[in-house]
Amino acid sequence: MLNNISGFPELLPSSQIAFNKVISIIQNKFELYGFSPLDTPAVEKTSTLLAKGNDHEIYGVYRLAEQSLNSKKDLGLRFDLTVPLARFVAQNYGQLIFPYKRYHIGPVWRGERPQSGRYRQFIQCDIDIIGDNDLSNYYDGEILAIISNIFKAIGDFKFTIKINDRRILVELLKSFALNEAIIPDAIKVIDKFAKISLEQFKSELIDLGLKDGDVAILQTLNNDSFTNENWLEYLQTLSDASEFHLAVSDLAATLKTAQSFGATMENIQISPNLARGLNYYTGIVYETILNDFPELGSVCGGGRYANLTQEFSKKKLPGIGISIGASRLIGKLLEEGLIDASKWTNAKILVTMQNPALISHYSNMARMLRNNNIATEIFLDDKSLGFQMKYAAKKGFAYAIIADEPEVLNNEVIIRILEKSEQVTVKLDELVNFISSIF
């Protein structure tokens, strides 16, 4: 029995077409905001990949002809698009224009256990804005607006963009007199609140040295009934530290900027417990979930970081970015029928073959349409018209062109509108204009 490798997904044509259309929407939005494309190699040096540490996830690359398959591997498949970006920016610093705005859409590979929504090979859609020494906070709001506009453009489903400033958690924990070395561990506990019991949440924080009153305050950060305005008012009461209030102020400013860039606030929710788990982030963080499928987890996440290339360069290059997990997101939308996957072709027109002797006429019709950027397929097998109509219906063509000897002699074609089971006869020299007018 033939099976593809677990965790390496492949799609039927109709689903792949739907998948590609969503990718096209995402790419179009990236470019509308001025991001330039980047495509780095799938393979990087292991020393580059291990700069972030994750050796348990990385696939090594070697030639089958090598004598010893157990020899140390110098190359590996990229596990995300950020590490290659950091290497690229450090390597090409003198040739780039800053702020450098790039998008990258491509596959990555991770040695994980496959399960629903998690794959070993998957497509990520990333954007990052990299500054040279500094980067305006206005970009935080722009990124938030981009997330909002992309998800609204993809389809009719409910989503929530959670947002926080990681400094809020850091400064709050400092105010509890927690040892700074322990703060990253405390943040990891806070960030996983939804995945553990309340008892475990309290126990783990107390074990780290927090007091019962401190834990009670941290527990309030998980209140899901507050509006954004409620949160901004409440957070101001939690600490007198200037850095804490600056973080709250920056969070409010990010929301305001995003709104001015076209984001609608009903999809955006302040979540003070959000940290994205990684110490990599140093400011604003984002996470997007599908409201009806919270078990899927984050389908888009990211945030601000102080220095992209700190492992590869002495330059200070702050940035902000997000990654859309396209395989996870689109896979769920396909599974739930939330995006159209009924078409097995991107062509709108099928030119049928009524008479093999007239193949030059059929190819001329198709060439006329293609020259005007109208995707067209010719049916080249000698089958009945009924067979060809079933083929057209199954693949999802909008129109079929029919012409036998009488039509050719009269310089005409019959256009069958497949969804309506209607047809109309037009002159051949009017074919392109007619088709263009009904698209």
Domain ranges of the chain: 13-335, 349-438
Q: Spell 140-165 as b/e; 16+ CB within 10 A means b.
A: bbbbbbbbbbbbbebeebebbbbbbb
pLDDT the model gives residue 68 = 61
Mean pLDDT of 9-25: 96
pLDDT tens sequence across 280-329: 899 999 999 999 999 899 999 999 999 988 889 999 999 999 999 999 99
Is pLDDT of 69 > 60?
no
Mean pLDDT of 339-366: 95
At the top level of CATH, the class of 13-335 is: alpha beta
Q: Spell 257-295 as b/e; 16+ CB within 10 A means b.
A: bbbebebeeebbbbbbbbbbebebbbbbbbbbbbeebee
pLDDT the model gives residue 48 = 92
Is pLDDT of 7 > 80?
yes
pLDDT the model gives residue 54 = 63
Instruction: Choose between 386 and 63: higher pLDDT.
Output: 386
Instruction: Choose between 68 and 240: higher pLDDT.
Output: 240
Structure tokens at 306: 């102080």
Q: How far apart are CA 202 and CA 219, in angstroms?
A: 8
Is pLDDT of 273 > 60?
yes
Q: How far apart are CA 301 and CA 126, in angstroms?
A: 10
Is pLDDT of 278 > 70?
no
pLDDT tens sequence across 171-205: 999 999 888 889 989 998 888 888 888 899 999 99
137 φ/ψ angles, rounded to the nearest 5 degrees = -70, -15
Is pLDDT of 79 > 60?
yes
pLDDT the model gives residue 159 = 97
Query: What's the start-to-end Cα distance of the chain, in Å?
Result: 44
- Partner residues linked to 213 by β-bridges: none
Is pLDDT of 332 > 60?
yes
Is pLDDT of 53 > 70?
no
Q: What is the DSSP letter of 55?
A: T
329 with 25: CB under 8 angstroms?
no
pLDDT the model gives residue 6 = 87
Cα distances (Å, whole numbers) of residue 234 to 214, 248, 251, 272, 385? 16, 10, 13, 11, 71
3-state secondary structure of 116: coil
Q: How far apart are CA 61 and CA 48, in angstroms?
A: 14
pLDDT the model gives residue 70 = 59
Q: How confident is the model at residue 131 (pLDDT cuts 50, 70, 90)?
A: very high
CATH code reported for the domain at 349-438 = 3.40.50.800
* Mean pLDDT for the chain overall: 92
Q: How far apart are CA 177 and CA 210, in angstroms?
A: 9
Structure tokens at 253: 């400013």
For 137, residues 6+ apart whose C-beta sits below 8 A from its C-beta are 250, 253, 254, 257
Tell me which amino acid residue 169 is: L
Is pLDDT of 152 > 90?
yes
Q: How confident is the model at residue 169 (pLDDT cuts 50, 70, 90)?
A: very high
For 332, residues 6+ apart whose C-beta sits below 8 A from its C-beta are 117, 290, 293, 296, 299, 338
Is pLDDT of 67 > 80?
no
Indicate the pairing of strand 349-351 with strand 399-402: parallel
Residue listed under structure tokens 């044509």: 13
Q: How far apart are CA 169 and CA 359, in angstroms?
A: 71
pLDDT tens sequence across 105-120: 999 999 888 777 788 9
Q: What is the DSSP letter of 344?
A: S
Q: At what angle do helices 13-32 and 138-154 cross, to 10 degrees?
A: 150
For 382, residues 6+ apart whose C-beta sits below 8 A from its C-beta are 353, 356
The residue among 31, 30, 58 whose CA lies nearest residue 46 is 58
Instruction: Choose between 340 and 64: higher pLDDT.
Output: 340
pLDDT the model gives residue 349 = 97
Mean pLDDT of 256-276: 93
254 with 244: CB under 8 angstroms?
no
pLDDT the model gives residue 71 = 60
pLDDT the model gives residue 105 = 98
pLDDT tens sequence across 361-373: 999 999 999 999 9
